[in-house]
Structure 1
């Protein structure tokens, strides 16, 4: 099975939102799941379950959740070769240890980290084999309905989706923050205002070249964080047995 070097693959990453109709071979899919499972896991708890959504009706329902109030949602949720939902899973822990105290917030954090590592391992390996993908956080637009669609029981939280398939586009890379803004030495260092403003202009130019002249990083942050951010998430987590203390 041919694959590109890890460093080259990581540096070439871009989100893919248009896919060909080519199916992913089952052997390759199985290897990608195995690669995800080999990611580091906190205290060997293996807090992750993956739901492979192949039912087209369920995909259509999830696409509608991603759309939120109005809009058509992400067509690639329905059209990609594979749509995966990564879940924090404490149900197995309860099986082996019924008195496990999963309601501590730390258990939610370790589960979230495990999910992120598993999902990133899987996507990185997929990209190295010529596949592409895009993570779908908007599945949490209505997490209660999503849980009903996927029949996730107590102590299981569907956290993020992933569209996966063979790319039918070659999008440009979005510019990342300069390394000197991200990396501190020995102690936290605040980002330099001039560097932040320069980066904001770089992002604005990126969007302008792609036909969206009224968007930059500042506006993207404001649009995402200067309003309610899925307020139903905390009650759902409590219902599932997490983050109560």
Structure 2
């Protein structure tokens, strides 16, 4: 197995960090790796806000569900889909299409994953923060995001102060198909996976969380998440048509 594969297969979300800062060389390498990600039609429809101001970090932490590592990690970056840049340089550009939201989201996600993988290859750890979308209006105001820019996720980076067990993923046989999507998925495989996830949560939490993967789906998808998001997208010039 190559080193790159070992790094990717060894991913764990890190939520506790030491106080050691990243070096300039590390930051430069991570940023360059992020920029090397593929870009649809070479639009490069992403921007990243590196938040270094301690007071701003505290404010963002409060907007992100008071997750302490947003303020405590050596680095906190906010990844955004960005078509404001395109309109600044080409004012006649046609934007606001649903496809462009997909392009911006995909490009930005690829950048984020490249950044995290690069960081992990340097012995660092990190965790993505979807909670930047909990209060998008307030967060956009704090970061000065203009129309045409939306925050998609945050990324905490730093030196790990914990060594968690990797979270078990779905069996490959439930995710990878050949030629056609199956009419029905393997119930035995899913039952086995549910048992593995339940054991993982019980071990990780000392028995305080008793949840299977399908149980977690039922809990997460029982209601609409962030019902304000479509209105925010429209206000920022996305998904208008």
Q: What is the TM-score with the length of structure 2 in the denominator?
A: 0.95
For 1:64, the equivalent position in structure 2 comes to 62
Between the aligned partners of 1:59 and 1:224, the Cα distance in structure 2 is 28
Between the aligned partners of 1:214 and 1:122, the Cα distance in structure 2 is 33
Between the aligned partners of 2:8 and 2:98, the Cα distance in structure 1 is 31
Determine whether 1:153 maps to 2:149: no
Provide, for residues 106-136 of structure 1, a one-character-per-residue CA deviation record: whole Å limited to 9, x for no partner. 0000000000110101110110010000000
CA deviation after TM superposition for structure 1 residue 213, in Å: 3.6
Between the aligned partners of 1:221 and 1:144, the Cα distance in structure 2 is 28
For 2:48, the equivalent position in structure 1 comes to 50
For 1:222, the equivalent position in structure 2 comes to 218
Provide, for residues 132-164 of structure 1, a one-character-per-residue CA deviation record: whole Å limited to 9, x for no partner. 000000111111111111110000001100000
Instruction: Count residues with an aligned counterpart.
Output: 237
SS in 2 for 1:171: coil
SS in 2 for 1:133: strand
Structure 2 gap segments, 5+ residues each: none
SS in 1 for 2:166: coil
For 1:70, the equivalent position in structure 2 comes to none
Between the aligned partners of 1:107 and 1:21, the Cα distance in structure 2 is 39
Determine whether 1:8 maps to 2:2: no
For 2:229, the equivalent position in structure 1 comes to 233
Between the aligned partners of 1:213 and 1:169, the Cα distance in structure 2 is 20
Determine whether 1:131 maps to 2:124: yes
For 1:81, the equivalent position in structure 2 comes to 74
For 1:19, the equivalent position in structure 2 comes to 17
Between the aligned partners of 1:132 and 1:180, the Cα distance in structure 2 is 29
* 8 A Cα contact 2:29 2:118, kept in partner: no
Q: What is the TM-score with the length of structure 1 in the denominator?
A: 0.94
Between the aligned partners of 1:217 and 1:148, the Cα distance in structure 2 is 36
Between the aligned partners of 2:133 and 2:216, the Cα distance in structure 1 is 19
Provide, for residues 53-83 of structure 1, a one-character-per-residue CA deviation record: whole Å limited to 9, x for no partner. 111111111111121xxxxx21100000000
Between the aligned partners of 1:27 and 1:207, the Cα distance in structure 2 is 37
Between the aligned partners of 1:155 and 1:182, the Cα distance in structure 2 is 34
For 2:192, the equivalent position in structure 1 comes to 198
Between the aligned partners of 1:213 and 1:53, the Cα distance in structure 2 is 33
Structure 1 gap segments, 5+ residues each: 68-72
CA deviation after TM superposition for structure 1 residue 218, in Å: 2.0
Between the aligned partners of 1:66 and 1:122, the Cα distance in structure 2 is 21
Q: RMSD over aligned Cα, in angstroms?
A: 1.2
* 8 A Cα contact 2:45 2:104, kept in partner: yes
Between the aligned partners of 2:42 and 2:94, the Cα distance in structure 1 is 17
Provide, for residues 175-231 of structure 1, a one-character-per-residue CA deviation record: whole Å limited to 9, x for no partner. 000000000000112421221122111100111112234222123212221112101
Between the aligned partners of 2:26 and 2:89, the Cα distance in structure 1 is 32
